[in-house]
A and B are shown apart, each in its own frame.
Chain A
Amino acid sequence: MRRGLLAAVTGAMALAAAPPANADIANFDLAARIYTKWLYRNNDSQGLLNLGTPHPDGDDYAGDNGVGTEFELKFFGRVSKYVQGYARIQSRFGELWQDWWESGNRWYDGETNTSGESGGMNHASYIKLRGTFVRAAIPIPTIDWVTIGSSDLGMFNPWSIGKVRYIDRDNAKGIFLDGHVGDGIFSYNLAVIALPKLYVGPYWSTGLTDPNLPNPFWSADWAYGAKFTVAPSFGTFTLVSTLTNDVEIDRSDPDAVGSLYPDCTDDLGNPIVGCAKDHAVDYFSRYMNSVTTIEAQVEPLSWMSVNAFGGFSAGLIDRKLAANGVERMAGVSPVVYKDTYDFAVRARVELSDPFDIGLSIKAEYFNIGAEWNSIFGARRESDVLLTDGFLEGGQLPTLNLANEFVDFDEPWYESCIGWHGGTLVAQYAIGGFDMSAEGTYMTYNTNAQDRDVETTYPNFLHEDGFTDTDLYDYANTTDRGRDPRSVYHLNQDRRTAIAVLNARYVFDVLGGLELSTKAKFIHDLDYRSHTTASDDYTGDLLTWRGKVGLGVAPGLLVEAGAQIDRWWEKRRDGTLKTGYGDIDTAKHRAFAGLTYEFEGLKFRYAIEFLDKDQFREPRKPDQHWLVFRSKASLEVNW
């Protein structure tokens, strides 16, 4: 008793001597953020986002002119040494500063009126629970953590279950087990994840709006993932296996809502043998996608890294439960409308400055099957190949790319399904100078003649020409080139060469004066139909960009630059019946930016002028764009 009293007094004294308590030393932390964005362009669209959802009935806050603010609050709770809690609440981003009084109370279906409540919930800045998790170090052998709730799914890989895009970072929810055996040489991650009811299946959903399903059922749709890692001293070996399973009710079950046989009789009134109500409903799989990958990463020498990757993808579709999205949605579908099976292989060798003279070499071989698909793979913000590709952002092995909910200054992603080739990159760095040169040559496993793009393979409708990511529109009213997901064509016999040169020098002036340049050339050749040479496509793309950045003062960085694009495309688009037309494109872009950081405040500003000419005559009239646009953001975190 006396010892207990002494301990209590000692503890109280220790606490008294401790520094003043703050959020860090309570049993939870709070983190908050206020983010404001200004977006302006010389057009008449109003909103806060350059490209919103491509769904025609989707958000109503996308547009090029507006300013709005969002607030976020995160709670990190330390319940005990072994239990944590997390929650994030955030306001809806869509209310313009001009939207005074918007309560989201009413929606007048687009009608403009003076009620002050005409914008709907998208413009009301309401606070929403965005994510929660409870994480516990349960004392079960080998288990490190059990997480129940939100996750960004970053534990697998982009080929199988990919890390979700930033805006979805807390949307995925499930049960996750992380553990290890021994000193971490063997570790594992297991997961059961609720499938999003949109996008992870035929018809861009797990049943919702599918015309084949009068009673779509999505609350029992799950993905399952397992990752096993063995990491001896000489390398890391990883096996990942995942399955997405979209289930629907058995409509022949008499207990099912909308059953075909609610009273167990057929159309003629005859009793169905074996049919009986049992107050339970059977399920069928509407669509399953399984991806298994194995990856070896070894470092035989201190300056050498070897990565070998192989994978198998399978997609199984029940045509009775999944309507034909390829046919009904003009070829815009995230799945091939049949069962698919295919392999992918990638091997990469990196020599990191082997001669200690600043020269590093990377070489990669890639071969991704024509019918590979990662339905729940990474949709953006990841990159599986070394090459710069056609688009600068990254290449991903899925038809489910998400080049949406982005502004004009964000990177783009393209599908690399069917790509087969190799890349060699040389990098040289010495002092403040570094440069890299890339050479890539590839052909396509998707090359085929008379491919069925009407009912089986999605071509995403717009399949020709270099993609103009600067002036993209979903409906393609501006002839912006092919959809980055368009990998299947009626007739294709294509090969591509890519060359990229990057160079940068940093002078030790003020906060650093950086000069950088990038030059890129693509030669894209597609013989298309073997029956004629009149449709043979040749595309040559030349891009040059130069940029200067200067750290003017502590926390203040300014930059300016220019970019020139010249695209020459012979027989760019058309049909065998109508013939093909040539299109040349000239783009000039001048841009400037500013970043200022001060005591936790971050301000960014970017402005650009874009002049584009698209020479299409005589088949179509020429087009011209003259665009000024800018984006600024102010962010504070505390």
Chain B
Amino acid sequence: MRRLVSVIAGVAAATAAAAAIAEPVVSLKDPAGDDNGPGAYTYPTDAVYKPGSFDILSFDVDVKGSDVVFKVGVRSKIEDPWDSKAWQGNGFSLQFVQVYIDTDRKDGSGTCEGLPGMNVRFRSASCWEKVVLVSPQPKSRLQSEIGQKAAKMKAGVVIPTATRVDGKTLVATVKASDLGGKPAKGWGYAVPLQSNEGYPDSKEVLTRKVNEYAGQHRFGGGSDYACDPHVIDMIVAPGQGGADEVRMQHSALKYSCDDQDKPKVELPMVYP
């Protein structure tokens, strides 16, 4: 009996120790119900796009040994309606998260354009050095898409060694060396959520379009031109999930199609 108690105590201690080790280095929240981009975006009309599928609730970054683990939580259970196993995918179908990371916070350093299809850019003071693709697509497809449509950005694109689903959370594991090191204080993150499009536009990296009117597989409430940010939800500072962050998101993603020369929407980085 004593042995049993000591075994249980040992397991509990080990579990607690593991939990302590796994304390996230970044933990941000996002309010529920703001999965409407700048405020008017609507989901595609097909039944697979269930409410909450694109509503970010949390974003965590953990360090585990030489790996960095990114976790993106959404409001509804993550499903796999298009059977990703059949196309060597990662166990989900709909979501596509791009985690942009500013690792040096130097003005003018890094890439200031978002990946093709997002219709976003970044301020020169917060351009990105790395972007992690949390996608259902297999690595070879991602490599192919980046090579063909974003070759200039290729050096900064990080494809996880593993991507999986855990309930309502997407989990992507990246080698710290691929990020240039373990996450450090001062790094900034932009976490826009898009939808995986297996048949993308010839110039867009696996992103689903946002049109003026929603379609069976198109988001609505945006523009048919490329002036609207193709971002359904994102984390904004301070990343505590407050109601004011809804307004801040809408403000950050506000766009205009009147002046085609006007730069695209600038995504804000969050510096936890």
Contacts and interface: CB of A to CB of B under 8 A. Distances in A.
B139 A299 contact: no
Interface in A187-229: 187
A86 B202 CA distance: 22
A107 interface: no
Interface size class of B (residues with CB under 8 A): 35 or more
B171 A18 contact: no
Nearest to B52: A231
Interface string A258-296: 000000000000000000000000000000000000000
Scoring B22, B65, B144 by chain A CB atoms within 10 A of each residue's CB, the highest score goes to: B144
A533 interface: no
Interface stretch (A118-126, A418-426, A480-488, A548-556): A548-556
A335 to B, nearest CB: 27
B162 to A, nearest CB: 5
Interface string A145-157: 1000000101100
Given A231-B51, A350-B167, A551 B22 contact: no
B116 to A, nearest CB: 14
Interface string B39-73: 00000011110010000000000101101000001
Contacts of B202: 599-600, 638
Contact of B141 (A24, A81, A597): A597
A618 interface: no
Contact of A432 (B22, B45, B147, B173): B173
Contacts of B47: 152, 154-155
B166 A352 contact: yes
B143 interface: yes
Contact of B19 (A302, A356, A557): A356
A356 B226 contact: no
B164 A24 contact: no
Contacts of A551: 138-140, 143
Contacts of A353: 166
Contacts of B260: 17-19
Interface stretch (B1-9, B104-112, B208-216): B208-216
A298 to B, nearest CB: 11
Contacts of A597: 140-141, 144
A54 interface: no
Contacts of B225: 18-19, 25
Contact of A512 (B33, B83, B140, B261): B140
Interface residues of A, number: 63
B244 interface: no
Contacts of A19: 225-226, 260
A84 B215 contact: yes
Contact of A305 (B144, B167, B218): B167
A430 interface: yes
Contacts of B67: 431
Contacts of A80: 213
Contact of A431 (B32, B173, B201, B211): B173
Nearest to A233: B32
Contacts of B215: 29, 76, 78, 84
A381 interface: yes
A233 B162 CA distance: 31
B18 interface: yes
Contacts of A17: 259-261
B175 interface: yes
A356 B32 contact: no
Interface in A411-468: 429-434
Given A357-B19, A429-B162, A432-B161, A135 B148 contact: no
B251 interface: no
B167 A554 contact: no
A555 to B, nearest CB: 3
Give 9 closest A-B pairs by Cβ, nearest first.
A555-B144, A352-B167, A554-B143, A551-B140, A154-B47, A356-B22, A512-B139, A554-B144, A25-B224
10 contacts: A78-B212, A81-B212, A152-B47, A187-B51, A350-B167, A357-B15, A511-B139, A512-B140, A551-B138, A595-B140
Interface of B: 15, 18-19, 22, 32-33, 45-48, 51, 62, 64-65, 67, 73, 76-77, 81, 83, 88, 138-141, 143-144, 146-148, 161-162, 164, 166-169, 171, 173, 175, 199, 201-202, 209, 211-213, 215-216, 218, 224-226, 258-261
Interface of A: 14, 17-19, 24-25, 29, 31, 76, 78, 80-81, 84, 86, 135, 145, 152, 154-155, 183-184, 187, 231, 233, 236, 297, 299, 302-303, 305, 350, 352-353, 355-357, 360, 381, 429-434, 506, 508, 511-512, 549, 551-557, 595, 597-600, 637-638
